[in-house]
Structure 1
Amino acid sequence: MVLVDFQEENDSLRCQLEAYKNEVDLVRSDLKAELDQKEKQLKMLQQTLQGMQQQLMESKRRQSEDEIKVRELQARLKSAGEVQARLQLIKADQSGELAGDSIQQSADPAVDMEEEGKADTTDTSSSVSRLSDREAKLIGLLATFLHVHPFGAGVDYVWSYLQKMEPTLRPGEVESLMSRFPTVFRQELSGIGANMERRWQFAGFKTSLSI
């Protein structure tokens, strides 16, 4: 009788142990599935982060290149202003010498043409000397944008690019600023008939200054 009781108790314990083992296996399986899912999510996040880091590095590289181009163009504008100022001084000296000549020499058409050239140079030099920091920055950005668009771009297209950096800028200001520097920005017509449109192009590399 006692042996039978022990046997029954042993069988009961064996069943309980088997149930515990099954429960542990089930919990372990659930944990493994959860860990696998978390690992997949982690890998996806790492890949996304790497992509964002690459985009950020590319954006910084482009920004650095644009800043270098803007500084180069600002330096060229400054150099052009200095050359025009020297031209103004030289022609002013020539004008002073001509003032001491006879009335007949003053009436020479060649002298009149030289005076007109002096006035044009003075106007251009004054335009450069009156440039604000904002206008100088816009000119640099304009030149950079049009330089990578060799076939030119319309005012609205140029304005939409500049507005990202100058939200208060108006299309009329863009066209007015480019019109002040015909040796740097040139306007041309493209298309035929109803499809004809005005495009602005960068002409800074085509201009040669001589004294």
Structure 2
Amino acid sequence: MKIEDKDDKPNTGRLHVDYAQARDDQYEYECKQRMLAREMRHRQRLEEDRLHPPSPPPIVHYSDHEAYVLMEQLKSDDEFMKASQILMTWLERGDLTKRNVTNFYSMIQCTNSQVRRLLSEKQNQEEALQKMKENFRNIFEGILHQFDQIEKVFSSSRKQRNWDHFSKAQRKNLELWFKQAQEIKQNQLEEFLSTRMDDDMEMSDEEPSEPKKKKPDEPFNPQQLQEFLARGTMREENDSLKCQIEAYKNELEMMKAEKQLIQAKMECKQFENELKAVKQSQLEEKKAEKSCEGSEDKEEGTTSEEKQSSSKETSVSTVSSTGLTLTEKETKLIGLVSCFLHVHPNGASVDYIWSYLSQLNVSTRTSELEELLLRLPMLFKLNMSGVGAGIEKKWQFVAYSNTAFIPFSFNS
């Protein structure tokens, strides 16, 4: 090899190339390359995992215990979405069988009950929204009243006796402030009127129509605010008067019902007193007759028979009216049933009368009660209405309307 085509020793030489491979260096180099490739693949996998959305949690398999836990979760508002997803997965998997159909029906029923909870929550939110709107409206009205007061202050300052005392710069600032206050008040009033019209249109049952926008060149009329405020107060007074009228009507109906009940009780009490007086007089007459008969037939009667007769007198008292015989229990039932049916002029069924007697701790049966009512046609009347299976039997008290009423005669 020559440099610049010179033959001297500094410019000549020989280049030796050795083609032998250094295997130790080659193996170390390959190991480093594989390590770098592994690190690159690891970084790429971490980046892909970070960008991928998280996988959903695994759905548990169906069992009776899991169904009970899921039913409790469906009743909770916080866990409803997760529980409904699990229920939907079970249904799609085909876990519903005839053996567990009751559990699935209960879970679906719990899901359906969420509808009522959502509706009640929606109603509560609407009520809260209405309260917020009402509060906002009241605050807005207060702001408009303050704007009116500010305008009155500027109007008072513009009077001649006050205006002359201000300097030219002060008058200029006062006029500017007055114009700004008027413009702001007009804008706020337009916004207030538009919101009130929108609310009225939402509350009305008519079809919504676009509110008429006020032209910017139209002069401001301060009576509009007073008219809208007066309408609101008149609407509130009208609602309060309606409520008062309804309350008065209900109170009047209650007073009428109480008056009729008191009158019926007084008539029933009078009837009972008359019945007791007739019974007492008949008992006294029979006692006198018995004492006369006893004095004549002293030898025939024995002390044991007298005791039996006295016990019978205390235990059983019979009422004879055209051959009719009643016990003391039956007379008590007649008085109570008469009072009850007198308060119910349209009549009542035997079961209704029996329930009333049960509340008074009077033990009897419906068959005995119906038999007793049938035995007294001069006091009680049976009315039948309806056809076939829908027939209805009602008993009425007709003692006062029966002109052929024969007074009872009591025998012991």
TM-score (norm 2): 0.33
1:84 to 259, 262, 279: 279
Check conservation: 1:159, 1:174, Cα contact below 8 A: yes
* Aligned CA distance change for structure 1 residues 126 and 86 (closer, same or farther; 3 Å): farther
Code of the aligned partner of 2:234: E
Which residue pairs with 1:143 in the alignment?
342
Separation in 1, partners of 2:348, 2:282: 33
* Aligned CA distance change for structure 1 residues 93 and 159 (closer, same or farther; 3 Å): closer
Separation in 1, partners of 2:378, 2:329: 13
Separation in 2, partners of 1:187, 1:174: 19
* Aligned CA distance change for structure 1 residues 36 and 22 (closer, same or farther; 3 Å): farther
SS of residue matched to 2:319: helix
Separation in 1, partners of 2:289, 2:256: 50
Find runs of 4+ consecutive structure 1 residues off by over 6 angstroms: 128-131, 135-138
Check conservation: 1:187, 1:198, Cα contact below 8 A: no
Shift of 1:209: 1.0
Separation in 2, partners of 1:14, 1:48: 50
Separation in 2, partners of 1:159, 1:129: 16
Check conservation: 2:383, 2:396, Cα contact below 8 A: no
Code of the aligned partner of 2:182: K
Which residue pairs with 2:349 in the alignment?
154
Higher helix proportion (structure 1 or 2): 1
- Cα shift readout 1:73-93 (whole Å, capped 9, x = no counterpart): 112112112202212332343
Check conservation: 1:185, 1:203, Cα contact below 8 A: yes
1:208 aligns with 2:208: no
Separation in 1, partners of 2:276, 2:329: 9
Which residue pairs with 1:23 in the alignment?
184
Which residue pairs with 2:384 in the alignment?
190
Which residue pairs with 2:266 in the alignment?
71
Q: Determine which structure has greater relative contact order: mean sequence separation of CA pairs < 8 Å that are 6+ residues apart, divided by chain length.
A: 1
Shift of 1:119: 5.5
Check conservation: 2:318, 2:328, Cα contact below 8 A: no
RMSD: 4.6
Higher mean displacement: 41-50 or 195-204? 195-204
Code of the aligned partner of 1:22: E
Check conservation: 1:87, 1:121, Cα contact below 8 A: no
Q: Which runs of 5+ in 1 are unaligned?
A: 1-5, 102-117
Which residue pairs with 2:238 in the alignment?
43
Check conservation: 2:349, 2:395, Cα contact below 8 A: yes
Check conservation: 2:380, 2:399, Cα contact below 8 A: no
- Cα shift readout 1:149-208 (whole Å, capped 9, x = no counterpart): 2xx332345678x69xx9x579x8695778489478525362566455432110322333
